[in-house]
Amino acid sequence: MDLQLTGKTAVVTGGSKGVGLATARLLLAEGVKVVTGSRSITPELEQLDVTPVSVDLSKPEGPGRLIEIAIETMGGIDFLVNNVGVGNAQDMVPGATRMLTDLPDSLWMHAFDLHFYSALRAIRAGLPSLVERGGVVVNVSSSSARMVSGGPYDYSVAKAALSALTKVVAEQYGPLGVRAITVSPGPVRTGVFTDPAGFVGSLAAAKGLDHETFADQLMEQIGSSTQRITAPEEVAKLIVFLLSPNNIHGAEYLIDGGAIKHL
């Protein structure tokens, strides 16, 4: 199936691993030129024919610098995939283990800088080019924005704000030819879930539990109807399809195996 993406250009944040890496790889296979932004450039990313930019997207100047480099490199951008998230796993543990009164402003600010403001700043910087080219913004949120009971609460609230931001972009810039869509994965088979030093492993350690046992318990609590974790490539396929020419706009797509059961 030809998705009619050949010759287009894309910026993918958080492109060094996980969903971002899988998205970059699939975009390349569709003939898209890709610039990635991440703090580190992994060996897996170095193997791809992308333009990797080492940048801290949680800093105010980071997203704008990434977009500037992308436009300089490619002449403009057709697609912006705001995928960056999680960062340091240890920063997320307090949001899942502390009560609201014990979660300091600094952690809330860090969660919003990484998961909300990075996208907002990248969108603002990219909009002139996206409007010119009739581009597409995909914001990668999370099913936890709809299911906050397990936390991390600061992360969940920041992702909910990101989902709302998609609606704002869709409303304001749809008439100017820019589409905006949210993709909200549940647990994905990345280091966040599978690495002992990742978020789930770190949370298990904080609770004094075995990583694998805790991960199994967590999946049971989440209640995925398919009873399995999502692969990064499955999320990437959804993202890349949404970037292809269509009239999908302002919508949210859950990819969580049926964990979110309410309308």
Q: Give the count of alpha carbons within 13 A of 181, CB side only.
A: 22
220 located within any domain: no
- In contact, 216 and 209? CB cutoff 8 Å: no
As given in the structure block, the two tokens for residue 51 are 């333009």
Which residue type does 96 have? A
114 located within any domain: yes
115 located within any domain: yes
53 located within any domain: yes
Q: How many domains, the chain? A: 1
Residue 7 banded pLDDT, cuts 50, 70, 90: very high
Residue 226 banded pLDDT, cuts 50, 70, 90: very high
Distance CA 256, CA 263 (A): 14
CB-count exposure of residue 138 (10 Å: 0-12, 13-18, 19+): buried
118 located within any domain: yes
Structural domain harbouring 178: 9-190+231-255
Residue 15 banded pLDDT, cuts 50, 70, 90: very high
- In contact, 219 and 5? CB cutoff 8 Å: no
202 located within any domain: no
Which domain CATH number covers 145? 3.40.50.720
For the full predicted model, state whether its pTM sits above 0.85.
Answer: yes
- Cis, bond preceding 128 (omega within 30 deg of 0): no
196 located within any domain: no
Q: What is the mean pLDDT of the chain?
A: 94
pLDDT in tens, 100-157: 999 999 999 999 999 999 999 999 999 999 999 999 999 999 999 998 777 799 999 9
225 located within any domain: no
In this structure, the chain runs to a length of 263
Rounded to a whole number, what is the distance in angstroms from the first to the last CA of the chain?
31
